[in-house]
Structure 1
């Protein structure tokens, strides 16, 4: 007996309110045989994803905050997207499949109903993630119904993520029904540039539309919002421009030559190059002017010699009350993480140690709890000259074994890895930290290039929420953590903030945090002392 395939429904199953179901039923003419396949549409919101989408995630959340802020007063269209619609035939291992195919870590995700997105006017990315058995069982009539499902989706950019074995079948389907371009059929092993570019293209249209809505509705109202939104749009469009070195080799060489005059680092902001000095003697006007002119000869812009202490404020509360205290200098901060010190010569584990900020403790300093109880002594780094800042080391405190349980810890219960991660993979990456003062906060890593102190790259982190700080006084020493492929990495240590020269054109109201690269600092200790630190859980 012949069977015919007809579309029976495209309905919501009320028993599963978080999933939109599209039912495709195949019936025999006698209604005695029925095979049912269920497609589910789920909105996926991720926190950590592939490095190619770090900038998108950062810009989308920043733009969405501005949109929500204005939407409280006026109703606006062009809401920035904050997820994708995943259409799948089985939801038993969605998290694993999303990580495998896209690099989306759904450990802390939201799975929402996609009903409003499928029927609404917001432009979205819709990905069909169907198992091999789905394609093997399909025929022409079956594909017609699948095509009808695609047509029911409103303003969607459709992609098919398939296995290598199913590429040809899926490509033929998309070509026959003009569902999407052939480049939108991709496998896990293929370059996903078209997929990633679509995220940015949609976001640019939405942000530009939102900006036009603002300009049409307000005259003087909302100028600050427009400026912030314009800045985000410029940052988005900059990714398409050809990337050229912003500082020439000659300019960088001259900055390094100036080390003997007290120069310890630099930061490029727009067309202004800030050169940081850590020696008060350099501030004599004649020497300052000579140095500026010397570096300006190799730089197309303005050079500003800036004392480091005027723009960098260490996060050490000048009072007792943090987790650990240096009573000698009356400063307190945070124990970032505990670990074991191993002697590389005989491979013996020597001591239990704690890591903290180098502006709190140096070799020989006594480490105390806020109540004055001594818990250990610092063995690294060596002491610097007075008025010098240390942004290349971490403090290593040897903890008295009888006192280890008296130290208050952050409860995170995750193993922390300290490994090299390419800087380009960290640009705009979401991070978090646990500090003594502000506890758990989240932020975005700003672009790492063209910012050095003491010949080392420096992390700059801005808070995720404009209403909060990423770190504050008392948080120095907190470990900066991110998640990549479900693994947690300790990438930095909070040092301080306010590293924003007065002449900077930055209009953001968010106060940045400066952090030391943790791997570089620990490697420096290992090379000097022939000992390694194996960090534990936070």
Structure 2
């Protein structure tokens, strides 16, 4: 998005300018809001072409910002709402006294305004809010003095509730909760509008997905409690040496993934499977991991690479520097490496690029078939260092991020097959493979392609938090075949990057530092 130098082109009346603001990356408390708003708006645009829908049923995303012709709206929205500067858009609004809206309206004025607002501006504000529900109006101020002056103004004018006058540095919980309440109301209206039509299969194709989104909004305040008891989880873990390699809770059904080749005692395996059924209140399905999960690997040209021994292809996810202490010396050496998915290539195997030939040799993992949670570490040949090309040229951070901050978060990746794709994190809880959690990612509804496909294994899953770029996952594959599960779109399975790197460091006593991607 091009950064504007001024906002002088926006519509002004009485020195007050109005913009709608929409962002893909914001505070973690808005993860679910941004996800549901984006998805429901896409479905509404599709549905309006097939049905005569009421304009009032269209879900909205973002907020309406009233300001004093600020010279930098991007900075204002970053400071006030943590909306990422690179993923926030603005549209000027020609506001008049007859305008109505069912979006949150935020008024952001500087200290000069609150110290001595002119009578003309005061009257203008009163006229503006005349047709806006007071529960939708918020004032944001920069200092305690500004807030006191704003409170005094609102007492006299009855412009908004005093609890809706906020400081920049304080929690915006009430503001964000109002955004959620509005979206839930709009989505309910949209679903009701559709369901009032003839009960046809075409209508159901829309409402089934929307009901899921609406359910997420309605249950957001409830403390999530897993249907898996501690006893059941203990039984699953006890099967580690008997072929039980993972599990996933999907609604009221529990799927257990097994690898028969890893079972050391068939009788013990049967006992554990029986015990799992006895400790779960619902249907339990046992699936072969080999038949259920398909790695995204293929012979790929261009920016991809391949395993020189078996031809498996993947994506060079990110470059970094491996720090190693030379034997017999305290001197540290740094070696350029590339990361990919652990199943594509393993140690002592040359990595090839079709247009360049051999680019280096894999040094980790020792066996790519043992654990889907590993990353491949490929030592880049020193003669190829000058050939490395960065995608974004932005610094990347790798750190432990809480589940709460990741759930429903907007993410993107660059893969050798599908290029740049965007999506949302779906499942983190109650889905494990080989004793560790994995994440699922769904592409955005507006995207015609999957989040990843064959050849994208190894692509780094990225997100932005507080304006900084984080690498959070590594694409493993997709195509999780569970006949009873009706996914909105095919999921991508990704492993956690931080945990994979920690495992590498623990086993090799070497660290990898990342600069830019």
* 2:499 corresponding residue in structure 1: 520
Q: 1:57 corresponds to which residue?
A: 34
Structure 2 residue runs without a partner (length 5+): 1-5
What corresponds to 1:350 in structure 2? 334
What corresponds to 2:348 in structure 1?
364
Shift of 1:513: 0.5
* 2:93 alignment counterpart: 114
CA distance in 1, matches of 2:168, 2:363: 48
> For 2:136, what is the secondary structure of its paired residue?
strand
Question: 1:217 matched to which residue of 2?
Answer: 197
1:284 deviates by 10
Whether contact under 8 Å (1:320, 1:331) holds in the other structure is: no
Structure 1 Cα separation of the partners of residues 499 and 421 of structure 2:
23
User: Cα distance, 1:526 vs. partner?
Assistant: 0.9
Contact 2:164 2:174 in 1 (8 A): yes
Aligned pair 1:380/2:359, yes or no? no
Per-residue CA deviations over 1:276-311 (Å, capped at 9, x if unaligned) read: 223346599977654332112222222222221212
Aligned to 2:3: none
Q: 1:19 aligns with which of 10, 15, 21?
A: 10
Distance in 1 between residues matched to 2:487 and 2:98, nearest whole Å:
38
Structure 2 SS opposite 1:519: helix
Is 1:171 equivalent to 2:151 in the alignment? Answer: yes
Q: Distance in 2 between matches of 1:261 and 1:327?
A: 33
Provide the C-alpha distance between the structure 2 equivalents of 1:118 and 1:205, rounded to a whole number of angstroms.
Answer: 24
Consecutive unaligned residues in structure 1, runs of 5 or more:
1-14, 24-37
Could you say if the C-alpha distance between residues 301 and 104 of structure 1 is closer, same or farther in structure 2, counting changes exceeding 3 Å?
same
Partner SS for 1:167: helix
- Give 1:484 deviation, angstroms: 1.4
CA offsets 1:171-216 (integer angstroms, 9 cap, x no match):
2333333322222111123232211111111111111111111122
- How far the C-alpha of 1:322 sits from its partner, in A, is 6.1
Counterpart CA distance in 2 for 1:283 and 1:194 is 56
| Distance in 1 (alpha carbons) for counterparts of 2:7 and 2:170 | 34
Q: Are the counterparts in 2 of residues 344 and 530 from structure 1 also a CA contact under 8 Å?
A: no
Asked whether the equivalents of residues 372 and 476 of structure 2 are also in contact (C-alpha less than 8 Å), the reply is yes
Deviation of the 1:86 alpha carbon: 0.7
Among candidates 451, 476, 495, match of residue 457 of structure 2: 476
1:115 counterpart SS class: coil
Aligned equivalent of 1:237? 218
Matches within 5 A, 1:82-161: 82-115=61-94, 120-138=99-117, 143-151=122-130, 153=132, 157-161=136-140
Equivalent pair of 2:134/2:159 in contact (CA under 8 Å): no
User: Residue 344 of structure 1: CA displacement?
Assistant: 5.7
Match of 2:383 in 1: 402
Number of residue pairs matched?
504
- Tell me which structure has the larger Cα radius of gyration: 1
Any conservation in 2 of the 1:335–1:477 contact (CA below 8 Å)? Answer: yes
d(CA) in 2 for partners of 1:479, 1:325: 17
Partner of 1:44: 21
Provide the secondary structure at the position in 2 that maps to 1:516. strand
Structure 1 residues 216 and 17: alpha-carbon distance in aligned structure 2, compared to 1, 3 A threshold: farther
